[in-house]
């Protein structure tokens, strides 16, 4: 055996380099188990990697001789989706706790979805049974048992009084995610979420925080945290907290670079908070609402454009999934609000209940203002657009880094000379998704010829209207085949 293999750190690097992706977890476990049995030198490093990431308490409980046959049947672990295997089983004894904790010091990542707290009742509260744990996902039922001081990442599935002691004891906690079940009516009330807002005040050094809706006091607390970089509000509520005008003050989140809102049921509350907040270092903004009116959408655009992120914001994604049918004359105009974001790389807008106004001049102005744009996706329910082929290709000449484009255009008429010398777009544009606002096409072969000449790296036009663009793609394919270089075999 080579001398280098006698160094544990070298072995860990070699073993970790050959780890199989998480989609093949079983194969990875078998590999490390085999290495651990190979020789004494391999045993400890292989066991450390075998136990570094554990899903559920069953692997640990399986080390208890009495529980092993209950958990494993014919060599496979029990599937408790129908009937919990631990139902009626006696708690661990003091002797069995040592078996349970045999490998606990090796674990770095722990994900507990099962619910067997009665089995661990003999373990003293706040015993810190996983001293080297860094990432944890569980319900607060187990919080008193899993409070290592060096815990960096935690995903909680419920909220109770244990959260306060949790965030105060875990002094190294940097990444906290709290996701709780949504009520049957599809949302939460302010009263249900008030305990969370109260306990958020005990978080003093988070780098990333993901949680349900917060009240104004919690927002003020977060604005004073110098460590916070990423904030996600993952659940809205049907009855958001009130925001008395006399209590609203300007909030400055000086270090947040990523801001995200998902599953919102009342966007007005968040829009009000944004209107009175500043994010001078913001780079990413995501907003997903289940119901968003055109008036609220315009208010959101305006609030975002005034949050002091004009020189930093690189990614914007705003979606509304409401399926309520509205009149065709209801529209929003996001582009004028977003022209100030000169560093914009990605813009994704999707609205199911009204359309986004876009014409040639507006598209040209947008591309002139966003020289670094790489992804532009504008999708609405009506697919109403005033952009023509001339406007599209004129604008494309101003964005050399554009890779993905999805918009609707008018193709009933061709307003560009197909025989004119093309100003070729750079080879960066690879994905082109064009929807038709006319539901008819002037000349598929001519349009295919224009795309082939102006966009050399686009092999096909993606679209939900395959029957409209299908002939264009067939022509485009034939053009590409005809111009492809031929490989001459050796003579």
Q: Which residue has the higher pLDDT, 13 or 71?
A: 71
CA distance readout (Å), 57 to 156, 168, 187, 222, 277: 16, 25, 31, 34, 43
Per-residue confidence band for 146, with pLDDT thresholds at 50, 70 and 90: low
- Do the beta carbons of residue 355 and residue 381 sit within 8 Å? yes
How far is residue 435's CA from residue 387's CA, in Å, rounded to a whole number?
Answer: 11
- Predicted local confidence at residue 490, as pLDDT: 45
Beta pairing class for 346-351 and 258-264: unpaired
| pLDDT of residue 442 exceeding 70 | yes
Q: pLDDT averaged over the chain?
A: 81
Residue ranges per structural domain of the chain: 1-50
More confident residue, 284 or 117: 284
Q: How confident is the model at residue 315 (pLDDT cuts 50, 70, 90)?
A: very high
Q: What SS3 class is residue 270? A: helix
Sequence-separated contacts (24+) of 444-449 with Cβ below 8 Å:
444/471, 444/472, 444/475, 445/471, 445/475, 446/414, 446/418, 447/389, 447/411, 447/414, 447/472, 448/472, 448/473, 448/475, 448/476, 448/479, 449/418, 449/475, 449/479
- Has residue 443 got a pLDDT over 90? no
Please give the model's pTM, rounded to 2 decimal places. Answer: 0.79
Write down the pLDDT at residue 243. Answer: 65
- pLDDT (0 to 100) of residue 237: 67
pLDDT one-digit tens code per residue, 190-242? 566 677 777 788 788 899 999 888 888 889 999 999 999 999 998 766 666 66
Rounded to 5°, angle at Cα 210 from 209 and 214: 95
Task: Give me the pLDDT at residue 156, please.
Answer: 80
pLDDT at 113 over 80: no
Q: What is the pLDDT of residues 71-98, one digit of tens each?
A: 887 555 655 444 567 778 899 998 999 8
Burial of 396 (0-12, 13-18, 19+ CB in 10 A): buried
pLDDT for the residue 391: 92
Give the tens place of pLDDT for each residue, 375-407.
999 988 666 688 999 999 999 888 889 999 999
Per-residue pLDDT at 238 = 64
Q: What is the pLDDT of residue 417?
A: 85
Q: Could you report the per-residue pLDDT of 322-366, keeping only the tens digit for each? A: 766 555 567 899 999 999 999 999 999 998 878 889 999 999 999
Q: What pLDDT is recorded for position 314?
A: 98
Please determine, for residue 160, whether its predicted confidence score (pLDDT) is greater than 70. Answer: no
Write out the two tokens for 228. Answer: 């916070």
The pLDDT of residue 491: 41
Query: What is the Cα–Cα distance from 223 to 250, expressed in whole angstroms?
Result: 10
Q: Are strands 331-332 and 251-252 parallel, antiparallel or unpaired?
A: unpaired
Per-residue pLDDT at 81: 45
> How many of the other CB atoms lie within 10 Å of CB of 414?
17
Q: What is the pLDDT of residue 223?
A: 93
């Amino acid at each position: 055996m080579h001398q280098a293999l006698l160094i544990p750190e070298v072995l860990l690097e070699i073993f970790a380099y050959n780890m199989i992706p998480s989609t093949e977890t079983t194969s990875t476990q078998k590999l490390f188990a085999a290495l651990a049995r190979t020789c004494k030198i391999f045993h400890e490093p292989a066991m450390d990697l075998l136990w570094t990431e554990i899903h559920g308490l069953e692997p640990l409980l399986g080390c208890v001789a009495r529980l092993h046959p209950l958990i494993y049947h014919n060599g496979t672990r029990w599937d408790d989706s129908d009937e919990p295997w631990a139902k009626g089983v006696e708690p661990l004894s003091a002797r069995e706790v040592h078996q349970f904790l045999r490998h606990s010091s090796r674990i770095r990542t722990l994900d507990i979805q099962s619910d067997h707290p009665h089995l661990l009742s003999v373990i003293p509260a706040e015993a810190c049974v996983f001293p080297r744990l860094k990432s944890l996902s569980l319900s607060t039922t187990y919080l008193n048992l899993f409070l290592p001081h060096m815990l960096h990442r935690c995903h909680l599935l419920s909220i109770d009084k244990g959260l306060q002691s949790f965030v105060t004891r875990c002094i190294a906690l940097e990444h906290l995610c709290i996701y709780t079940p949504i009520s049957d009516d599809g949302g939460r009330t302010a009263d249900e979420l008030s305990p969370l807002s109260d306990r958020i005040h005990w978080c003093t050094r988070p780098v990333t925080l993901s949680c349900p809706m917060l009240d104004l006091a919690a927002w003020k607390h977060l604005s004073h945290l110098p460590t916070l970089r990423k904030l996600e509000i993952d659940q809205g509520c049907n009855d958001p907290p009130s925001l008395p005008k006399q209590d609203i003050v300007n909030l400055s989140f000086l270090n947040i670079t990523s801001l995200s809102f998902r599953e919102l049921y009342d966007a007005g509350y968040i829009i009000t908070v944004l209107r009175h907040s500043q994010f001078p270092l913001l780079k990413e903004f995501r907003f997903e609402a289940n119901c968003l009116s055109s008036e609220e959408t315009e208010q959101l655009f305006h609030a975002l454009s005034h949050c002091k992120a004009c020189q930093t914001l690189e990614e914007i994604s705003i979606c509304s999934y409401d399926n309520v049918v509205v009149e065709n004359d209801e529209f929003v105009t996001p582009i004028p609000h977003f022209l100030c974001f000169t560093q914009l790389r990605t813009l994704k807008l999707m609205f199911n209940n009204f359309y986004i106004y876009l014409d040639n001049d507006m598209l040209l102005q947008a591309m002139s203002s966003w020289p670094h744009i790489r992804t532009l996706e504008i999708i609405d329910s009506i697919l109403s657009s005033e952009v023509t082929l001339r406007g599209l290709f004129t604008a494309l000449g101003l964005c050399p880094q554009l890779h993905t484009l999805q918009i609707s255009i008018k193709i009933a008429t061709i307003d560009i000379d197909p025989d004119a010398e093309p100003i070729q777009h750079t080879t960066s544009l690879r994905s082109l998704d064009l929807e038709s606002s006319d539901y008819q096409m002037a000349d598929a072969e001519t349009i295919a010829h224009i795309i082939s000449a102006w966009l050399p790296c686009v092999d096909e036009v993606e679209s939900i209207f395959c029957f409209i663009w299908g002939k264009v793609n067939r022509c485009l394919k034939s053009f590409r085949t005809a111009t492809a270089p031929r490989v001459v075999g050796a003579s």
